[in-house]
Amino acid sequence: MTRTDEKVRYLPESQGEDLTPVSAASGVENVLRMLEGRWKLVILFHLFGGKVLRFSDLERAIPAISQKMLIQQLRQMEADGIVRRIVHHQVPPKVEYRLTDWGQSLCPALDALLKWAASRGAFEDVPTSGDG
Amino acid sequence: MTRTDEKVRYLPESQGEDLTPVSAASGVENVLRMLEGRWKLVILFHLFGGKVLRFSDLERAIPAISQKMLIQQLRQMEADGIVRRIVHHQVPPKVEYRLTDWGQSLCPALDALLKWAASRGAFEDVPTSGDG
C-alpha cells in the first residue's frame, strides 16, 4: 500500500525562501493567530464565495455572537487584511463586509486542512480513536 | 496581473459532505487545536520529510524546550495520531519518533498556509502594513 505517498510533498517548498523548521513553524503560527477564536472562522466561512453581507446579515447568520463581539472580530479581521468594510455614503449609511481577495484566497488552504482531517481513516498507521 | 483568482476555489468542496459555515469552521478549529502551542509546529517541521529522530535528537534540535514539555507535546501528538513512537527493545532501549503517514500528509496543507501568508503583497486590496 503506497497510498498518498506520491502525491504528498514532504517538505515545505515555499517560494524558494530558506525555511527552517523554526521559521516555518512561526510562519504557520502567525496564520493560526489570525484565525484564533471560534468566530473568525465562522465569519470567514460565511463570507467565502465572494459574499457581501451587511452587519445585520452577519448578526442573523451567527445568532450566538454578541454585537460587541461581532464588531470586534470584524475589526481585527479588517486590520489583518482579511475583511474589507465598505461604507456606502447614503442615508441611512449602509455598511457591508466582504473578504479581500487575499482573504478569499485563504479558502483552498482551509479546505486542505479540512480534507486532511477527513482523510485520517485512510491511513493505516493511525489509531482510529481520535479523542483522548 | 490577474493574481490567483482563477486558481482559487471559493467554497470548500470537502468530499461531498454537506458543510455549513459552522461545521466547516468547527472542522478547521479542531485541526488548529491539534497544532496549538508553539512546540507542536516546531516538532512537526522537524519531523516532516520522513525523518526519524530519537528523543535526544529532538532535544538537541529544539534547545529551548524543557524535557518535560517535549515529552508532553510528543504524547499529545501521538494521541492525536500525528506522531508515532517506536520503541526498539534492546539494551539500552532505543525510542524513536517519526510522523505517521497521516501526520506526514499534513505538510502540503501547512505549506498552503505559508504560501497564503507570503502572497499577501500580491493582492492590491490589502493594506501593506500587517501589524496593528
pLDDT of residue A127: 72
Nearest of B77, B130, B28 to residue A39 by alpha carbon? B28
Selected for mutation to probe chain A from B18, B101, B106 (highest A CB count within 10 Å) is B101
B132 touches chain A (CB under 8 A): yes
Q: What is the pLDDT of residue A86?
A: 95
**In a 10 Å sphere around its CB, with 0-12 CB exposed, 13-18 middle and 19+ buried, how is residue B8 labelled?**
middle
A108–B44: do the CB atoms touch at under 8 Å?
A: no
B74 SS3 class: helix
Cα distance between residue B77 and residue B70, in whole Å: 11
Along the 132 residues of chain A, how does pLDDT read in single tens digits? 444 444 344 455 555 567 899 999 999 999 999 998 779 999 999 999 999 999 999 999 999 999 999 999 999 999 999 999 999 999 988 999 999 999 999 999 999 999 999 999 998 878 765 443
Q: Which of A25, A61, A118 sits opposite B45 (nearest CB)?
A: A25
Peptide bond into B21 cis (omega under 30): no
Q: Could you tell me if A115 lies within 8 Å of chain B, comparing CB atoms?
A: yes
Can you give the pLDDT at residue B61?
A: 95
CA A88 vs. chain centroid, Å, equals 27
Interface of B with A in 68-107 (CB under 8 A): 79-81, 84, 100-102, 104-107
Q: What is the pLDDT along chain B (132 residues), one digit of tens a residue?
A: 444 444 344 455 555 567 899 999 999 999 999 998 779 999 999 999 999 999 999 999 999 999 999 999 999 999 999 999 999 999 988 999 999 999 999 999 999 999 999 999 998 878 765 443
Q: How far is CA B116 from CA A41, A89, A108, B45, in A?
A: 16, 33, 9, 18
Residues of B94-106 as b/e, b for ≥16 C-beta within 10 angstroms? eebbbbbbbbbbb
Any idea what DSSP says for residue B82?
S
Q: What is the chain B residue with the closest CA to A111?
A: B12
Residue numbers in B near A127 (CB within 8 A): 81
Q: Are the beta carbons of A63 and B44 closer than 8 angstroms?
A: no
The confidence score (pLDDT) of residue A27 equals 94
- Which residues in A lie closer than 8 A to residue B32 (C-beta atoms)? 32, 35-36
Mutate to test the interface with A, among B7, B85, B110, B129 (most CBs of A within 10 A): B110
Q: Kindly state the cell numbers that stand for B93.
A: 532501549
**Cβ-proximal residues to A95 (8 Å cutoff; 6+ apart), any chain:** A54, A55, A85, A86, A87, A88
